[in-house]
Amino acid sequence: MSSSVAPYIPGSPASACPDLDRAIDKAASGTRLSRAEALVLYKEAPLAELGQLAFLARKRHNPGANVTYLIDRNINYTNVCNTDCSFCAFYRHDPKHPEAYVLPREVMRAKIEEALELGATRILLQGGHNDELPYSFYVEMISWISSNFKVEINAFSPSEIQQMKKVSGKSYAEILGELKAAGMRGLPGGGAEILDDQVRARVSPKKISADEWIAVMEVAHSTGLTTTSTMVIGFGETIEQRLNHLDRLRQAQDRSLQAGFKGFGAFISWPLQFNENTSIGRSRHASGYGAGATEYLRNVALCRLYLDNIQHHQSSWPTLGPEVAQLGLHFGCDDIGSTMMEENVVSQAGAPTARKWCMSPEELQAIIVQAGFTPAQRDTAYNILRLHEVDNVSA
Ligand code: SF4
């Protein structure tokens, strides 16, 4: 196996900026970056060099040429939501709206059976914050799936757990403990967007605060659930606000790891999707939102370098397409995400260009091979289920 990316040589002349040179040397050596160093890298480092540094970091965390993927299905159990996020076109606020729904069991059964026939090992359940659903609905849904199907269940997000706290009066520890006992194995990190309350007050003022999002996740870590962390860029946030987000994740991960928990298993970022179906897309500031491929890749690389305590970083194919996702694998990512089979939240906000919102396992394998890596099917905890032997691995 040979490297297709020329290794960065620490101490090599990179710029006329001593602060940048120091930050590059630290990143190349794998030393933890300060916030000031991350800022200078974000603003000043040439894109290709940032990618090389992130690729080296990826190799330190995940040696070898494997790039993992997951076969799963997303199921959105309700689209009723009281939270009115400005970037969302998926929800219906009024439960009596003709398009409002809560999926009946027979529909869920058909979706899960179809997913299992296609080889899915995970079901991912997410929905709106529906005041008409009692707490028992969530526990019974998990319990019904776990007792009827052999599949890993990852479900909800910190803001849905907060909704359950609201309707039940129970603590986060009680809720997550009871969901785990019912068969839930993981809590995905959705709804983080940017963990900075100034940004949240502007784009999703009714949604869970940054502190509460972290608090739910730390309880999930102590409960033994697998978790992920996410980030959405392109709300018009500053680089400093992005670093606030990364600081919160890095500090929470330090606390969880020091306490002996597994912490976040992975980190995933993507650019905000919006169109005229969202209030953000109809606003007169719409041209200032979103992020293109260059900014996405810069963020992907910087996150790999700054989040030095999260092992797996995922490249996003749904938002910028498979070609940019392939580049993400050379900018620090070691995972290409999942098949999804259906996506109703980000897709309804509408990608700027027509995109696919599901992939077959074969398509994900081809994307990985074309990028020069070896595809490996994984489970939620990143255990390898199947390694695909391929020739001409170049990464
Ligand atoms: S993004 Fe989630 S919380 Fe926000 S309105 Fe949409 S469904 Fe509700």
> Cβ < 6 Å from ligand 1: which residues?
81, 83-85, 88, 90-91, 128-129, 159, 204, 207
Please give the pLDDT value at position 5.
38
Instruction: Return the best residue to mutate from 82, 90, 235, 278 for the ligand 1 pocket (most ligand atoms within 8 A of CB).
Output: 90
Nearest CA to ligand 1 atom 6: 88
Nearest CA to ligand 1 atom 1: 88
Nearest CA to ligand 1 atom 7: 128
Classify residue 309 as exposed, middle or buried by CB count within 10 Å of its CB (0-12, 13-18, 19+).
Answer: middle
Which atom of ligand 1 is the closest one to the Cα of 82?
A: 8
Structure tokens at 125: 């359940």
Which atom of ligand 1 is the closest one to the Cα of 204?
A: 4
Which atom of ligand 1 is the closest one to the Cα of 127?
A: 7
Q: In what order do the strands lie in the sheet with 226-233?
A: 72-76, 122-126, 152-155, 186-187, 226-233, 264-271, 312-314, 335-338, 66-70, 374-378, 384-387
Strand pairing category for 122-126 and 264-271: unpaired
- How many whole angstroms from 68 Cα to the centroid of ligand 1? 29
Give CA torsion, residues 103, 106, 109, 114, to 10 deg: -100
| C-alpha span between 253 and 251 (Å, rounded) | 5
- How many whole angstroms from 191 Cα to the centroid of ligand 1? 8
Which atom of ligand 1 is the closest one to the Cα of 79?
A: 7
For the chain, give the number of residues: 395
Let me know: does 290 contact 232? Beta carbons within 8 Å: no
- How many whole angstroms from 143 Cα to the centroid of ligand 1? 24
| C-alpha span between 214 and 303 (Å, rounded) | 18
Which atom of ligand 1 is the closest one to the Cα of 88?
A: 6
Nearest CA to ligand 1 atom 2: 128
Please give the pLDDT value at position 348.
64
Phi–psi pair at 127, nearest 5 degrees: -155, 180
Instruction: Return the best residue to mutate from 129, 133, 346 for the ligand 1 pocket (most ligand atoms within 8 A of CB).
Output: 129
- How many whole angstroms from 64 Cα to the centroid of ligand 1? 38
- How many whole angstroms from 307 Cα to the centroid of ligand 1? 26
- How many whole angstroms from 125 Cα to the centroid of ligand 1? 14
Nearest CA to ligand 1 atom 4: 85
CB atoms within 10 A of CB 239: 13
- How many whole angstroms from 5 Cα to the centroid of ligand 1? 40
- How many whole angstroms from 85 Cα to the centroid of ligand 1? 6
What is the DSSP code string of 168-216? Answer: H---HHHHHHHHHHHT--EE--TT-S---HHHHHHH-TTSPPHHHHHHH
- How many whole angstroms from 288 Cα to the centroid of ligand 1? 21
Which atom of ligand 1 is the closest one to the Cα of 207?
A: 3
- How many whole angstroms from 83 Cα to the centroid of ligand 1? 6
Which atom of ligand 1 is the closest one to the Cα of 190?
A: 2
Half-sphere exposure in the Cβ direction for 266 (13 Å, CA): 31
Please give the pLDDT value at position 352.
45
The domains located in the chain, with CATH, are: 64-387 (3.20.20.70)
| C-alpha span between 138 and 184 (Å, rounded) | 10
Half-sphere exposure in the Cβ direction for 260 (13 Å, CA): 1
In order along its 395 residues, the chain shows pLDDT tens digits of 333 334 444 445 555 789 999 999 999 999 999 999 999 999 999 999 999 999 999 999 999 999 999 999 999 999 999 999 999 999 999 999 999 999 999 999 999 999 999 999 999 999 999 999 999 999 999 999 999 999 999 999 999 999 999 999 999 999 999 999 999 999 999 999 999 999 999 999 999 999 999 999 999 999 999 999 999 999 999 999 999 999 999 999 999 999 999 999 999 999 998 888 888 888 888 888 989 999 999 999 999 999 999 999 999 998 899 999 999 999 999 999 999 887 666 666 655 444 566 889 999 999 999 999 999 999 999 999 999 987 766 66
Instruction: Return the best residue to mutate from 87, 91, 235 for the ligand 1 pocket (most ligand atoms within 8 A of CB).
Output: 91
**Which residue shows structure tokens 């940048």?**
20
Please give the pLDDT value at position 286.
85
